[in-house]
Amino acid sequence: MSKFLPVISLLFLFSTAKAQIPAGYYNNAYTGGVPKVCATLKTALFNIVSTGTNVLEYSSNSTFDTWDAVNSIDTQRNDANTAYEMWDMYTDNPTGPDLYSFSPITKQCGNYAKIGDCYNREHSFPQAWFGGVIPMLTDMHHVFATDGFTNGKHDNFPYGEVSATATDWTSPAGAKLGTCSFGGYTGKVFEPIDEYKGDFARAMFYMTTRYESSMVDFRNNGNADAVLDGTTWPSLDNWAIQQWYKWHIQDAVSQKEINRNNKIYAFQNNRNPFIDHPEFVKLIWDCTNLLPVNLLDFKATKNGNSILLQWTTNKEANFKEYVIERSTNGKTFYTIGNVKGENLDRYSLTDQNILDATTVFYRLKLVDIDGKFNYSKIVSVKLQNAAAGITVFPNPAINAITIKLQQPLTLNSSLKITDLEGREVMRLAVVNASQQEIPVKVNQLPAGRYVITISNNNNLLHQSFVITK
């Protein structure tokens, strides 16, 4: 399209002038400075984002259409930073070299036979659900440039998490098609990669809000009743609310979404409120009592020879427990304790069993009574003295170990051995100052991994070892 470059220039100038949320845009979402909630907020946002909008053409040779739009808003620099390529959220590789690259315009679909052939316009809220008509057809808040072949796999299936044992298809990038593993729905779903799950969830929340007045009719189209409940509020089936809210929390709003929202506003004259105000998602659908506990704060602090974990909350509806998980690398977590939900404002747990690490990481797994769960943010504590010069040999051991310290202790100390659940299995009341080798018999302990902790007022030392039988 020869018109692409001048359109891009015009769009850049226009979006620069409207790069921020307009003053007062969301005023009607508040009463007396306090945000509205539930159905009232959803309807208020419907009125805001559906008033004064500009409707694009789907395909046109004379006006700015959806091809021009995706070619304007869904681009990024390639890995070599030598040219622009399409930003396809289905095949992107956020942590390494791109698996595929689509040049703007020249790689538009077209026919395709495999992944990487070309890109097209993906209606994340499927056309079959709204009848394939304008304005839904050209609403760029849910239309994305994506690989044509993967788009075909998405088809009209809802977004959801795929069971590992019931996967029909998996792309090299990690997108999946298969049986839903999320409770409440057993049909087939399409799962995008983790990096963009929140993007698609917020697009779904936008569509059910922007076209609130059509939700009753949409449910009768195609397989839309897989996610739509035929109401203006909450509009979505229980499982869809919970699934997409989980993604909304786990994959927070990115700068990519913010930039895209600003550019769409420049020519469409409306915004996705769930990008501008992510908190609106919870304010609208929390009244269903389906969303997980509202965690206000979570922190971890060193407290002598242990770590004190504290968290606060203001809501526990249909809630079971907090599972406390620990990691030494921030990626692989293990359970160290459980705290039952008792509708308290504050909770705490003390970790007496710190592993061999310079930094220890923690997160909370928030479990509902039906087994669904969400994770908190990850917090960390630096342990400057952890594992400072402790050697255990032999390791693995059978009957006895010797603990060797590179530096002698400055004070008399205590030594305890705990299992990985934090249960104390052995204790030496006194380890003499200046002692550098400590023999310990462990023949009475079962096979497994254990943690040694040596502590006094000045030192906190840790090391792990394994017993085999």
pLDDT tens for residues 187-226?
999 999 999 999 999 999 999 999 999 999 999 999 999 9
Q: Which residues pair with 416 in a beta bridge?
A: 427, 453
Same topology between domain 295-382 and domain 390-467: yes
**What is the distance between the alpha carbons of residues 323 and 380, in angstroms, rounded to a whole number?**
17
Six token digits for residue 319: 């809630």
The beta-strand segments (E) located in 150-187 are 162-170, 176-180
Q: Could you give the 3-state DSSP secondary structure of residue 412?
A: coil
What pLDDT does 248 receive? 93
**What is the distance between the alpha carbons of residues 340 and 223, in angstroms, rounded to a whole number?**
39
Q: Which range has the worst mean pLDDT, 132-136, 363-367, 428-432, 444-448?
A: 428-432
Q: Could you give the 3-state DSSP secondary structure of residue 247?
A: helix
- Judge residue 300's burial from the number of C-beta atoms within 10 Å of its C-beta, 0-12 exposed, 13-18 middle, 19 or more buried: buried
Nearest C-alpha neighbor of 103 from the set 84, 88, 79 = 84
Across residues 348-359, what is the average pLDDT?
Answer: 77
Q: Give CA 392 to chain center in angstroms.
A: 39
Q: Could you give the 3-state DSSP secondary structure of residue 82?
A: coil
Confidence of residue 292 (pLDDT cuts 50, 70, 90): confident
What pLDDT does 431 receive? 85
Scanning 74-157, the segments in alpha helix (DSSP H) are: 127-130, 148-154
More confident residue, 297 or 201: 201
- Residue range 295-382, CATH number: 2.60.40.10
Q: What is the pTM of this model?
A: 0.69
What pLDDT does 12 receive? 38
Half-sphere exposure in the Cβ direction for 147 (13 Å, CA):
23
The answer to whether 468 and 398 are in contact (CB under 8 A) is yes
What pLDDT does 359 receive? 81
What pLDDT does 354 receive? 67
The answer to whether 122 and 144 are in contact (CB under 8 A) is yes
Amino acid making up residue 222: G
**What is the distance between the alpha carbons of residues 114 and 103, in angstroms, rounded to a whole number?**
17
Name the strands in the sheet holding 400-405, side by side, starting at the edge strand that comes first in the sequence.
390-393, 400-405, 437-441
- Residue range 390-467, CATH number: 2.60.40.3080
Where along the chain do its domains lie?
4-288, 295-382, 390-467
The answer to whether 45 and 209 are in contact (CB under 8 A) is yes
Nearest C-alpha neighbor of 35 from the set 218, 257, 215, 287 = 287
What pLDDT does 19 receive? 57
pLDDT tens for residues 264-289?
999 999 999 999 999 999 999 999 98
pLDDT tens for residues 170-187?
999 999 999 999 989 999
